[in-house]
Structure 1
Amino acid sequence: MLSSLLSNGQPTTPDRLEPVVPWWSFSKTVLAATALTLVRDGRVRLDELIPGQPFTLRQLLRHEAGLADYGELAAYHAAVENDEPAWPADDMLKRLDAARLRYSPGAGWGYSNVGYLFVARLIERLTERPLDQAVAERVLSPLGLANVRFARTRADMQSAQPAGTANYDPAWVYHGLLIGPVSQAAWLLDRLLGTDLLPVTLLEQMQTARILGGPLPGRPWLAPGYGLGVMQGAIVGGYTLCGHTGSGPGSVIAVYRVCDGDASACCAVFAAHGRQEAVEARVVEQLMQGLGRAH
């Protein structure tokens, strides 16, 4: 496993050369942050219907918009397994019958990568910038991050770990797949939640979660939930995790932050051929070390 731990905003390990890794669904946290800068700037409102759609930005960010997910499609899994090129986005939406909502917006919950494709498209429309430029200008550069970018082609994946992703077409991640060092993922989340990129009111709304049930077997969550682009919930010890877990062919990444009074810790862990529960357990172990707590 590769890991990076920050304690009270300071790294606990010396600088080192790091491989570039796929951030998988932690990319959603970055997209949500970018969208919330547009809310901050008055370009869009969280609770107004998106033009031409029956749902709001808040509902998209919290997976409450009623949209399906292409993970439902057996043909999608077969194509990824066979290292096929990604379908055009509009073709995917047609195969999924994505215009047919699975429930009324706001009335249910369903994890949807399609929802974040719509978030990405909204960012591009409102900024009049390509997604990578908008994200860099609004989040990556203000937070002082380097060596983070969107993977667009198989060639981009050839520079990333693990080696087994070299034939993977990153266009299968329809909302965009960020790649970068593990330490940059930890820095991004720590600075996003711990600095003034977003006003306090928006940070509070970002971390207001819809609770999704009780304990998950083998995973640290006692009360898992989802906020605006973040997985958020209670764990043993009375702590609350905020961040995101993501997985794709051959690897898992988990990036979380925890606070205890004035103390904070933020950790990112990446594992090739790992399991989500093992990676999350490692994150929690390191976060407790970062807080100076036994675990």
Structure 2
Amino acid sequence: MTLGGRIFSCILPSLRGEAADEDGAPLLPYWSFTKTVIAICALRLAEDGKIDLDEPLGEERFTVRQLLNHTSGLPDYGTLPAYHQAVQDDQEPWLRGDLLAAVMAQGMRFAPGRGWSYSNIGYMLARERVEEAAGQAFAALVREMISVPLGLASLELATDREPFARVHWTAARRYHPGWVYHGCLIGTPGDAARLLQALVEGRLLKQASLRQMLAAIPVGGSIEGRPWTGCGYGLGLMIGRMGGAGRAFGHSGGGPFSVNAVYHFPDRLRPITVASFTDGRDEGVAEFAAVDAGGAL
């Protein structure tokens, strides 16, 4: 646990912990768990014939599938010192064109499909392609495809400072969610767990689409300070093994003041879904909390 920080956990199917359905459950940033939702939307559109995941985008050589599984070769803005300084100084987000120019000045990491490298820019482009294909904004798609059908009342796409003023941690008031260029959902831990559980139960995608999401590219073994003993990445899902907890898939996330880990553990005697959130910047803290919460059942 970080500096005495409080961990909010929700465990399904036996809903326990500090973020159950009771009134007053905290609103928290989902950070990169938003990538899972972008991938769900893309796959739903593919099911409807509105997106071809394997068609190159315009003059680009990469596909939507490669954007979703981080094999596009695109660089990332996380490597830009100026980006982190601007966030620290609580500046307004850069214009999309300025950001893209700064990121692409680093050059492509590799030819599309010839490697793996995590890229938030890739997910920004994937979200834009999803919006173009659907003829709707991402926030509207989330409501239509996910929050309304599942009854996830807390789920919201934070597009300006006002939603972050309602986030549990006061540090959020000095952060513009526009710095997360693919978008940042907020909601309760319970709704994060319910979203992933609905995906597992086949309430969001057809089984063939879920199998595509779970087709993992191996990206490494153990990670120091984190519970992973084997790592891979599917479509919007981190996939691998977390020691004695066995297989796990979901997504971790983090920003300047908080981290989260939303995972399904299928190897448990009773498979469970856990969402853990805490302050700080160490995603391993939230991941270990998810493993520990799961072990309590």
TM-score interval (norm. to shorter): over 0.9
Contact 2:161 2:177 (8 Å CA) reproduced: yes
Q: For the structure 1 residues 96 and 15, does the alpha-carbon distance in structure 2 shift closer, same or farther, using more than 3 Å as the test?
A: closer
RMSD: 1.7
Cα gap change, 1:93 to 1:285, in 2 (>3 Å): same
Q: How far has the Cα of 1:100 moved from its partner?
A: 4.2
Q: CA deviation at 1:3?
A: 0.8
What are the Cα deviations for residues 132-191 of structure 1, in whole angstroms up to 9, with x where unaligned?
Answer: 002221222233311111111112211112111101011000011101111110100011
Identity, in percent, stands at 39
Q: Spell out the pairing of 1:73-84 with structure 2 (5 A cutoff).
A: 73-84=80-91
Q: Note the C-alpha offset of 1:24.
A: 0.6
Q: CA deviation at 1:50?
A: 2.4
Distance (Å, rounded) in 1 between the aligned partners of 2:240 and 2:100: 31
What is the count of residue pairs matched by the alignment? 288
Equivalent residue, structure 1, for 2:29: 22
SS of residue in 1 equivalent to 2:211:
helix
Gaps of 5+ in 1: 291-295
- Do 2:245 and 2:268's aligned partners in 1 also have CA atoms closer than 8 Å? no
Cα distance change, pair 5–261 in 1 and its aligned pair in 2 (3 A): closer
- State the partner residue of 2:12: 6
Q: Where does 1:204-243 land on structure 2 (aligned, <5 Å)?
A: 204-237=211-244, 239-243=246-250
The answer on whether the counterparts of 1:123 and 1:134 sit within 8 Å (CA) in structure 2 is: no
* Cα pair 2:247 2:267 within 8 Å, conserved: no
2:50 counterpart (33, 37, 43): 43
2:69 paired with 1:65: no
How far the C-alpha of 1:261 sits from its partner, in A, is 7.2
Return the alpha-carbon distance in structure 2 between the equivalents of residues 80 and 238 of structure 1.
36
**Could you tell me which of 173, 181, 186 is aligned with 2:180?**
173
Deviation string, structure 1 residues 182-203 (Cα, Å, up to 9, x no partner) = 1110100011121232111111
Aligned equivalent of 1:267: 274
* Local SS of the residue matching 1:233: strand
Q: Give the TM-score normalised by the residue count of structure 1.
A: 0.93
Cα gap change, 1:98 to 1:105, in 2 (>3 Å): farther
TM-score, L = length of structure 2: 0.92
CA distance in 1, matches of 2:21, 2:30: 20
Shift of 1:262: 7.4
Counterpart in 2 of 1:293? Answer: none
- Distance in 1 between the 2:62 and 2:145 partners? 24
- Paired with 2:90 and 2:268, the residues of 1 have a C-alpha distance of 47
- Contact 1:143–1:192 (Cα < 8 Å) also in 2: no
Rounded Cα–Cα distance in structure 1 between residues aligned with 2:245 and 2:295: 12
Range 33-42 or range 194-203, more displaced: 194-203
Give me the whole-angstrom Cα distance separating, in 2, the residues matched to 1:287 and 1:207.
Answer: 21
- Measure, in 2, the Cα distance between the counterparts of 1:284 and 1:235: 8
Q: Which sits farther off after the overlay, 76-85 or 138-147?
A: 138-147
**Structure 2, unpaired ranges of 5+:** 1-6
8 Å Cα contact 1:257-1:287 kept in structure 2: no
Matched residue type, 2:81: A
1:246 is paired with a residue whose SS is strand
State how far apart, in whole Å, the 1-side matches of 2:85 and 2:249 are: 33
- Output the amino acid matched with 1:110: S
Match of residue 32 from structure 1: 39
Deviates further, 46-55 or 60-69: 46-55
